[in-house]
Structure 1
């Protein structure tokens, strides 16, 4: 038996221009908050610092997609999945839930409610977004891509 203790890995170290992150979260408001916080940490580690416009936009996209998965895509007992991918030019955010009903649509609300504008924000902030049925089971994946400018 080996009694040596491995050195802890350093989370948050820059990993260069490319990176991947994927994790399942409970379909609850707490799960959505944790997804936002961990995504923010990943963006910072990938060289998109907390105090820049790109970080704010990307974090807001994660917030809206995770909130939609919790509010509209929730199936009791099932989690949602967040996947992030980053290369030198593009960040891709994917949120997968297990509800098959409902097609994500960025439609202008017809009343003055404070809700129903999440996908409009995603449409405004992302360079591309869409959805597709989940290939390995019931549900759907909503994705958004953000093209990084030279300074972000």
Structure 2
């Protein structure tokens, strides 16, 4: 059962590697603090997209989420508050690359696209490939069965526009 205001998590969804070879009891690699921050930011942004609740209240609710203590709190704050403040700008960056109106996106896909676009715009120290990989893995965990493919395709175009110097030159 999903808590109100949180996106559903798909059964059997993969966990992402944190760069460590350690495994959890279930055999999956442990999550990095940044991954946890991104997942919590997704949950908060999902809640904001559905209810337009105050960012501070959403953040306070997230502090009660299991695993909060293991998240990169600075990254979570930057993502959640930054994406909410820049929502119109982020949507303007995303929308030209969609095959539908932004209002027709699922809230999970919309939130993932907003968070990744925020990282691409405001966090140039994070390589675009890391941003895209994290977004795709989170979309696999929280989104519909094929949503991650859509997220990947859209973000590939957004990243090419926002970070052209990171893309290999066609020759």
TM-score category of the 2 structures, normalised to the smaller one = 0.3 to 0.5
The structure having more radius of gyration, on CA atoms, is 1
Q: If the length of structure 2 is used for normalisation, what is the TM-score?
A: 0.30
Q: If the length of structure 1 is used for normalisation, what is the TM-score?
A: 0.32
Structure richer in strand, relative to its length: 1
Structure richer in helix, relative to its length: 2
